Chains A and B, each alone.
Chain A
Amino acid sequence: MTPNALILLFIAVFALIAAINVQSGWLFLVGYSLISLILCSFILGKMRLKDLSPRAHSSGVSERGEKMELFVYLDNLRAPLIACMAPPVGRRARRRFFFSSLVPEGWTFAVAEGPQLSLEIETPRRGEFDLPDLILLSSPLFLWASAKKFPGRGKVLVLPRADRLLALPWLYANSGQEDGIPRHQLGDLFRTVREYRSGDSLHRVHWKSTAKRGELMIKETESDQGGTSVSLVIDPACREGNLEVVEQVFSVTASIAAHLHRNGTEVNIFSSQGEAPKGMEEQLRWMARMIPDQKLPPSIENAVLITGRSGKETNFTLHCGVQPGGDIHCPPGCDLARALG
């Protein structure tokens, strides 16, 4: 029942009490009419939802934070203004709605114009979930909202969000010349320039840009990404109630992995739960299915560390929380930028 219906019901009861007192037939009829309007809304709503059996289809894979398109097919669409709604992926649908609004906050809805409609549902969490339940809603005259729930069938895999990174200078910053591998052997492919930082070799100064800007600018090449093989170790531990931080760890890992894959670097991902298969897509799916632990060792908070380097291999451990320090460059505004402060 909507607030409008409650107000009308209150007025109808008041009218009927007054009608009993003054014996006014019209007043009785006004009271009954208002009650009938509410009943009519109820009857029409139920009637419109009768025999509607929707089927929902989706691609089954989506990236966290991106909207996933859900195609809904309705068999027996008799009446207009049937709203089809779904909760975000991973959240359970309740048949009770908020009193003040037909559509709960965060839900997606669309009005059925024909036998097929599409819903763009939110994917706020990484993981493997059942397809969200569909709720069909009919609220003629906005007095009674009749809803019918249809369980979602099938699975949805929400991959960790992989933001496009511009560069990974910390690979270079930490390795310096110590790896003993000549730059040219790594196939120095000029990528970009950046400001000079303490410790940068003067061999890497990009003189043209330095002359132009009036300050030392350093060349960055593809080989600055580090070795040809990078191992990323995820510690999926997290404090209770701090799942968002873990999600950021996965986002950082996915972004780094995607960046390295794009540059042709071999990426290995490990966690306490095992090793990810090779290949970008497989690794993303592997990360999507990973369930974080609930305990976090206090000593490894806020750490992005290079934990080892040998030959062409560099090992990273990605812990919960990433210390902001400008070591990962990503476009402004993306989730990762926010995560990194």
Chain B
Amino acid sequence: MKKQENRDLVALRWATWGINFVGLAALYSFDPNPRWPLALLLTSLGFYFSYKRRYEKNHWIKSLMALAMILLLWRYLSSLFENLQDTRLPLAGMLAWLQSINAFDLPRRHNLKTAQLVGVILVIVTATLSRDLVFGFFLLLFLSLLAWSGHQDNLLELGLERKRGGVPAAIAISIALSLALFAVLPRPQYRFLSQVPMSVRQFLPKSMDPGVRNLAYPSGMKKSKKFNPKAFYGFSSTLDLGFRGKLDSDLTMRVKGKRPQYWRGMAYDHFDGLVWRQSRPNADTLSTNKEAFSLSSNGNEDLLYTFYIESNQTNLIFLPQDPHSLYFPTGQIFLDSEDGLRSPVILEKGLFYTVTASWASTLGIEKARIVLPRNSQKNTSGKRYLQCPPMSERFSKLAREIAGKEQSPFRKLRSIEAYLKEHARYDLTIPPYEGKDSIDHFLFVEKRGYCEHFATAMVLLARALGIPSRLATGYLPGLYNPFTGYFEVKTDSAHSWVESYFPGYGWVPFDPTPGFLLPEESPTAWSQFSGFLREVPWLMLVFSGFLLFSLFSLWKGLASNLLPSSKLFLVFLRRAGLRRKGGHTAEDYLREMEKRGKAPDPSAVRFIELYQRARFGPGVPLEDLRAALREAKLGKK
């Protein structure tokens, strides 16, 4: 009679259920939708049911499952068409329900393996969705369960029921190893699929205001004289240098992309001594029936940035340098006179859009001559990027002094940038100053200030030297989180910098604020990883813990666990100048001694005899063996 297969597999069932639990819980943490707990409940019921009926044939259950799977496929395809921009959530939903159905028929070990596979794919889909560190906790749980499941499999294979097998050590070593690989190996970017993430298309109101809107200053900067830490006052129709205050450090947006950049919001061309504004506040309307707005046709679209809005602030569409195409969820947007883009609606939390961009080369820019930008010539004043408020004589003198004998405009700008970085201090605690000579005051009296003071000073110095320039506002790249792959941009990452015009190159950014550098090269994986750890010290502690535990486990694993008699035997070999060899018997070593041309001393032979009796039979006290070792006359000491 054929022996009935053991289908209890209790530990393996728990491990499989755990892997599915982790997948669904991780999904719930990203998307708090009741369907995930419901799927988990159904999966748990399924596991219980399949355990109870593990020895039954369950034909009727299999038929019902097949029917449910057909319905699920139909539901998945329809949800796919509803959300073609991002197919990850429908896929996750399909997998979750598939697992719930599948859980009702898991009688054998290989069925449980299939269920684990679905759980693993669920975790992978969640990994692509996750935008924060919470997923790390789920990944840790997932790895632990996977290791435990492997251990259970090993026990089943060896015909054992319960036995410890160093699973915690294996988990610690795996995590330490994976983090080491993650920290060191480069993370290349290559787009195999052309799908770009973008929110679902929004319906627009009939009348739309093309102006800049900032929720922290709903009635505009002129009326709201009070500083609001919730949003940067530079995202407005005017930028007042008299404003003082420290911005909150709330998360504003996350940007997914490989190369760090300054995220540009808007720019100003006219300065009256205290307030920046756009001399041409009107904006053109850009419409598209296609997927994307075309912004430029120069260069290659080799960079891809996706912006995820995390807090409602403005209607400015933030862009990297040299954008090509914008995938934005409205059919219309506005383009202002300073190349800033505005959305007809406020960018609300949850909205996301994608921009493709190229990395412009500045090779040869040092030899570029200055010509006024084309759109400035439309201005009746003719030279609006050279406009300056009345400045003091010492200011003009300073501009000439900084420029020195430099002929190249680019080098002149670099000199100004270096001068400001060296001679003034970035300080957010300066007292208010509302005079029309604010830059003169900043350069010669205060010598410290906000980023907009530095940027304004550089624009004015550049303009004084005849270089068309303007002041740009936006956000710093933010902290790159290597785990999520997102730059985390906070409210206090708001920043001002300078853009100067070079024919053939366009507007080139400069940043004169001390402590801030425009990113030029792609950072390495290690620099991104270590930079993030420096900013998140608790994470460093966690990783150090894993590293130490894994090292301890390895050390413990390699530590010798010899029997006392074997230890004495090793001492014997060492003293005899023999190397230990696998599979050699004690007599083999004696023969080896003989081969050296000298017969072993009877005391050595006696030790070997005693050792063999102690090791392979009862009756020789360890003390006798020690004494025999002491007495053994060997060739080498």
Question: Are B187's CB and A28's CB within 8 A?
Answer: yes
Question: Are B166's CB and A140's CB within 8 A?
Answer: yes
Write the chain A residue with the least CB distance to B193: A21
CB-defined contacts of B158 to chain A, threshold 8 Å: 81, 83, 102, 109, 111
CB-defined contacts of A109 to chain B, threshold 8 Å: 158
Question: Are A141's CB and B150's CB within 8 A?
Answer: yes
Q: Does residue B130 face the partner (Cβ distance < 8 Å to A)?
A: yes
Q: Does residue A296 face the partner (Cβ distance < 8 Å to B)?
A: no
Q: Does residue A170 face the partner (Cβ distance < 8 Å to B)?
A: no
Q: What is the CB-to-nearest-CB distance from A114 to chain B, in angstroms, rounded to a whole number?
A: 10
Q: Does residue A35 face the partner (Cβ distance < 8 Å to B)?
A: yes
Q: Does residue B157 face the partner (Cβ distance < 8 Å to A)?
A: yes
Q: Which of B482, B582, B616 has the largest number of chain A CB atoms within 10 A?
A: B582
CB-defined contacts of A73 to chain B, threshold 8 Å: 615-616
Q: A53-B582, A101-B157 are known contacts. Are A25 and B481 too (CB-CB below 8 A)? A: yes
Question: Are B483's CB and A29's CB within 8 A?
Answer: yes
Q: What is the CB-to-nearest-CB distance from A92 to chain B, in angstroms, rounded to a whole number?
A: 16
- Bound-complex Cα distance A184 to B117 (A): 81
Q: What is the CB-to-nearest-CB distance from A220 to chain B, in angstroms, rounded to a whole number?
A: 37
Partner of B124, one of A27, A35, A75, A115: A27
Q: A25-B483, A53-B580, A75-B562 are known contacts. Are A30 and B153 too (CB-CB below 8 A)? A: no
CB-defined contacts of B363 to chain A, threshold 8 Å: none
Question: Are A37's CB and B143's CB within 8 A?
Answer: yes
Question: Are A48's CB and B485's CB within 8 A?
Answer: no
- Bound-complex Cα distance A55 to B615 (A): 10
Interface residues of A in 229-280 (CB under 8 A from B): none
Q: A20-B190, A53-B584 are known contacts. Are A111 and B561 too (CB-CB below 8 A)? A: no
Q: Does residue B120 face the partner (Cβ distance < 8 Å to A)?
A: yes
Q: What is the CB-to-nearest-CB distance from A179 to chain B, in angstroms, rounded to a whole number?
A: 50
Q: What is the CB-to-nearest-CB distance from A80 to chain B, in angstroms, rounded to a whole number?
A: 6
CB-defined contacts of B136 to chain A, threshold 8 Å: 26
Q: A33-B174, A37-B147, A37-B150 are known contacts. Are A15 and B481 too (CB-CB below 8 A)? A: no
Q: Does residue A40 face the partner (Cβ distance < 8 Å to B)?
A: yes
Q: Does residue A291 face the partner (Cβ distance < 8 Å to B)?
A: no
Q: A36-B177, A36-B181, A57-B616 are known contacts. Are A41 and B189 too (CB-CB below 8 A)? A: no
Question: Are B583's CB and A153's CB within 8 A?
Answer: yes
- Bound-complex Cα distance A111 to B562 (A): 18
Question: Are A142's CB and B181's CB within 8 A?
Answer: no
CB-defined contacts of B583 to chain A, threshold 8 Å: 53-54, 150-151, 153
Question: Are A33's CB and B154's CB within 8 A?
Answer: no
Question: Are A139's CB and B128's CB within 8 A?
Answer: no
Among listed B219-227, B381-389, B424-432, B552-560, interface-contacting one? B552-560
Question: Are A102's CB and B157's CB within 8 A?
Answer: yes
Q: A41-B170, A48-B557 are known contacts. Are A141 and B147 too (CB-CB below 8 A)? A: yes
Q: Which of A23, A44, A57 has the largest number of chain B CB atoms within 10 A?
A: A23
Q: Does residue A22 face the partner (Cβ distance < 8 Å to B)?
A: yes
Write the chain B residue with the least CB distance to A151: B583
Q: Does residue B11 face the partner (Cβ distance < 8 Å to A)?
A: no
Q: Does residue A168 face the partner (Cβ distance < 8 Å to B)?
A: no
Partner of B559, one of A14, A23, A78: A78
Q: A26-B139, A143-B150, A153-B585 are known contacts. Are A78 and B177 too (CB-CB below 8 A)? A: no
Q: Does residue A181 face the partner (Cβ distance < 8 Å to B)?
A: no
Q: Does residue A61 face the partner (Cβ distance < 8 Å to B)?
A: no
Question: Are A142's CB and B154's CB within 8 A?
Answer: yes
Q: Does residue A4 face the partner (Cβ distance < 8 Å to B)?
A: yes
CB-defined contacts of B329 to chain A, threshold 8 Å: none
Question: Are B485's CB and A24's CB within 8 A?
Answer: yes
Write the chain A residue with the least CB distance to B528: A25
- Bound-complex Cα distance A24 to B197 (A): 13
- Bound-complex Cα distance A28 to B189 (A): 12
Q: A23-B189, A80-B165 are known contacts. Are A29 and B174 too (CB-CB below 8 A)? A: no
CB-defined contacts of B174 to chain A, threshold 8 Å: 33, 36-37, 39-40
Partner of A15, one of B127, B175, B483: B127
CB-defined contacts of B113 to chain A, threshold 8 Å: 4, 7
CB-defined contacts of B580 to chain A, threshold 8 Å: 53
Partner of A29, one of B121, B182, B581, B582: B182
Write the chain A residue with the least CB distance to B192: A21
Question: Are A30's CB and B139's CB within 8 A?
Answer: yes
Partner of A81, one of B139, B143, B163, B562: B163
Interface residues of A in 16-69 (CB under 8 A from B): 17-30, 32-37, 39-41, 43-44, 47-48, 50-51, 53-55, 57
A-B contact pairs, 9 of them (CB 8 A): A20-B188, A23-B485, A25-B182, A30-B127, A37-B170, A43-B554, A73-B616, A103-B157, A150-B582
Extra contacts, 15 of them, besides A11-B117, A47-B558, A101-B157 (Cβ < 8 A), are A23-B258, A27-B128, A30-B124, A32-B178, A32-B182, A33-B143, A37-B150, A53-B583, A55-B616, A81-B158, A81-B163, A139-B157, A142-B157, A150-B582, A153-B585
Chain A residues proximal to chain B, CB less than 8 Å = 4, 7-8, 11, 14-15, 17-30, 32-37, 39-41, 43-44, 47-48, 50-51, 53-55, 57, 71, 73, 75-81, 83, 101-103, 109, 111, 115, 139-143, 148, 150-151, 153
